Amino acid sequence: MARVRPPLLLRTSTRWAGLSRSSAQLILGGIPLLVLAALLLPPAGLVPWEAEIGFHHALADRIRHGDEDFYTAALAALRASGLPAGPFTAIPLPLTATILAAVPSLAATLALSLLVTGTGLAWARHVASGIAGRAIVFGLVLLGGGATFAPGMITVPALWAGWLITLSLALRRPGHWLDAAALGAAAALLHEGAAFYIVVMGAWAWRDGSRREALAWCAALVPLGLALSAHVYASSLVAGAVAGAAAASAGPGPALAEVFGAGGYLSPRLAAPVAIVVLLGWSAWRDPIAVRAATVLAAYAIVSIAPTGSSLLPLLCAPMALIGLAPAVDGLRDLLAAALDRRRITVTRVVR
């Protein structure tokens, strides 16, 4: 077993500290294989980012300046953007576009800025007892959502849902989970993909024996279920209008690396190793929230392989992803120290 070294950015040692030499070498040897696998998963047939962002922007504008209902406006915006016109898979939940169409653009930008700042401060406060550099964590939160204020992004539901998920994770503590579950429910009403986050958090609560918390996370799915039922029905009413324009399957989902592409501004070649290092950092950190974050990111990585057709799914976990770089510094140092450890125990017999 390798000698445990004092932490760098963390206040305590990582899970990898003191590993045997063979175990550390096995983990380090697996990292290049994971990076290669992430790069080889093809992003075939994805709808371009620009087209999806343009659709959401056009949808909010049509509702704001026209007299159409949401679903009629969504169908027209889909046609104008050249996106597949599937009634359920392509039309988003109406809450985000409806709210943004009802408020001035400046108010929406201010609200998003407050949400981003509050999320960064919440994470800096949450990790105060675990990471020495709170300013580093705050910066990583902002870096993770780097595409937040790109032109047109404010109208994307996945962006708002991603920040609510990240804030929910920061606020969740043992015995204090009600506000986190409520934020998870709110995120799911903006984008149905947030349901995966709720399921993961509920599963961890059940595993930890917190039945009340698990029930709260299950209850957070109820509003989404009701909203989706109404959404499917309303979408089916416009399905006849798209006869002959069947929704084309988008093929496999985005490459695994793109889930950790920090909102899309990292190229897949750079995002792939970042993705593995981020997961390594989250899994190395001795904190109850760290294993939950690692599971959430892994869940979205798996979902990204499915034929969802959306290239905006990474926004649901991008803001939280890069926080894992802070504990990754200590985790990689401990793995390297264990893998390169060559200490030998010398037994000297003294005859008296």
Which amino acid, one-letter code, is at 207? R
How many angstroms from the chain centroid is the CA of residue 349?
58
Rounded CA separation 239/91 (Å): 11
Per-residue pLDDT of the chain (352 residues; tens, 9 = 90+): 556 666 677 777 787 777 777 887 888 888 778 777 766 665 544 556 677 888 888 889 889 887 788 888 888 888 887 776 554 557 889 999 999 999 998 999 999 989 998 998 888 887 776 776 667 777 777 777 766 777 678 899 989 999 999 999 999 988 889 999 999 999 999 999 899 999 999 999 999 989 999 999 999 999 999 999 998 888 877 755 444 333 333 333 344 444 444 444 455 566 667 778 888 888 888 888 888 999 998 888 777 666 555 667 778 888 888 888 888 888 888 888 777 766 655 566 677 6
For residue 182, the model assigns a pLDDT of 96
For residue 224, the model assigns a pLDDT of 94
For residue 25, the model assigns a pLDDT of 80
For residue 42, the model assigns a pLDDT of 56
Structure tokens given for 49? 């980012």
For residue 207, the model assigns a pLDDT of 93
How many angstroms from the chain centroid is the CA of residue 102?
28
Give the alpha-carbon dihedral of 304, 309, 311, 312, to 10 degrees.
-90
3-state secondary structure of 286: coil
Structure tokens given for 256? 């695994």
For residue 308, the model assigns a pLDDT of 54
For residue 255, the model assigns a pLDDT of 41
Structure tokens given for 297? 């990111």
Angle in degrees, 0-180, between the axes of helices 178-190 and 95-102, rounded to the nearest 10: 90
The answer to whether the beta carbons of residues 195 and 205 sit under 8 Å apart is: no
Which amino acid, one-letter code, is at 180? A
For residue 189, the model assigns a pLDDT of 95
Rounded CA separation 324/144 (Å): 10
Structure tokens given for 42? 């093809």
Q: Which residues contact 11 (CB under 8 A, 6 or more apart)?
A: 129, 130, 131, 132
Q: What is the pTM of this model?
A: 0.84
For residue 243, the model assigns a pLDDT of 40
Rounded CA separation 134/124 (Å): 5
For residue 86, the model assigns a pLDDT of 53
- How crowded is residue 11: how many other Cβ atoms within 10 Å of its Cβ? 13
For residue 136, the model assigns a pLDDT of 75
136-147 in b/e burial notation, b at 16+ Cβ within 10 A? bbbbbbbbbbbb
